Amino acid sequence: MLNNYKSGYSLSQCFYKDESIYDLEVKSIFHKHWLFAGHTSQIPNIGDYFLFEISEESIIIVRNKKNKIKAHVNVCRHRGSNICSEKYGNKKLLNCPYHAWSYDLDGLLITARDMPSDFKYKNNNLHSVNVELIGGFIFINLAKKPLSLYNFKHDLNKTLDLFGLDDLKLVMHKSYPIPANWKLAVENYNECYHCNPSHKEFSQIHMMGTDNKVFKKRKNDFHEQNKGKLKFAQFNCYYDYAQTGQEGYQYDRNPLKPGILSGTVKGSPAAPLLGNLTEYDNGASELMLGPLMFFLLYDDYIVGYRFTPLSLNNCVCDIFWFVRDDAVENIDYEINNLIWLWDTTTLADKEIISNNQKGVNSSFYSPGRLSLMEDFQKSFLDWYINTLSSYTGD
């Protein structure tokens, strides 16, 4: 099936319908790449935690007594019970509700009743998970030897510092369950061929939602006018362009429609300028890190898109909205104005993706030729096939 893939076309039906392929995806993609778990502002106090769940895995993201962010697999080392059942909370200890084994916030086993004399506490700590902070964004990796983030940090630290990633707070998080294979959701996000006919709200804000030739010319002029500025850096190291051993990433800045300053109902500012920014430039930056997480950086707020598989036929799209941490709700920003564009767009995408899955399920479905506006999707599909083909089980 992998050998029959034809670059420049959509995937064969089996890649959306076969459980064995989904199992391979879990091992070769979700257990190998960096995943966006959440934000430090969600757990401001020692002992605060939240759960990040993907497919069959549940991960405890917790702030320890040294004020550091830790991540542990939510599986007791005794007989496998989940330790935390509530999605959010605060705990002094991580206590298993089944047989009362307890662990400290660093995942070290401290209590296990009536165990044999040769039992070793140090051999029964919680499974730890790799954690990296990008500003306040929490990324985790389930691999023993995770892909490097060195290139990403080297290329983009100065640019991202402009937006004050260390000084953000999460002001809204919404989840949109989608009855479809996760790849259809990611593919939909990866192309704007559908933006003009399907997203009138997006298209009234973003130049990307207009005619492709018009957009490309405007973008070229936009970058020429701002050549050399950090905010207008371009790094295309995503998917099949990623270096071996490095996590994929991408950064670019795109123009908004004339007169539009931010992604709001009227295109006016939504919140105070981020970080070290001093003015609006009529643009928005797109940022990708890993295969499932996308950020859009306006000058005054950031929106994050995360696509998470739950099973073969179900996924969830989580949307996160961030403003600078000293902004005050109803004074500096109004939440409905802030979330309007991407809440509206995501609800429309949920229907689009669900209908796509229904069509893919048909016996008449066959791979279709991609358009010239779907080059990012082509890159994703080429990378996806290569990732599955090259998986060795490591």
Which domains are delineated in the chain?
35-132 (2.102.10.10), 150-390 (3.90.380.10)
Joined together, the tokens standing for residue 67 give 């004020």
Cα separation of 78 and 216, whole Å?
58
Residue 375 has pLDDT above 90, yes or no: yes
Average pLDDT over residues 261-285: 97
Could you give the C-alpha distances from 235 to 111, 263, 288, in angstroms and in order? 49, 23, 10
pLDDT tens-digit map of 75-88? 999 999 999 999 99
Q: CB–CB of 287/295 below 8 Å? A: yes
The alpha carbons of the chain give a radius of gyration, in whole angstroms, of 22
Give the SS3 label for residue 306. Answer: strand
In 3D space, the residue among 296, 288, 346, 343 whose CA is nearest the CA of residue 322 turns out to be: 296
Distance from C-alpha of 166 to C-alpha of 214, rounded to nearest angstrom: 36
Query: What pTM, to 2 d.p., does this model score?
Result: 0.96
- Residue 8 pLDDT grade (very low, low, confident, very high; cuts 50, 70, 90): very high
311-351: per-residue pLDDT in tens?
999 999 999 999 999 999 999 999 999 999 999 999 999 99
pLDDT at 392: 86
Residue 394 has pLDDT above 80, yes or no: no
282: phi > 0 → left, psi -120 to 50 → alpha, else beta; which? left
Say whether pLDDT at 393 is over 90.
Answer: no
**Predicted local distance difference test score (pLDDT) of residue 177:** 98
Q: What does residue 151 show for φ and ψ, rounded to 5 degrees? A: -60, -40
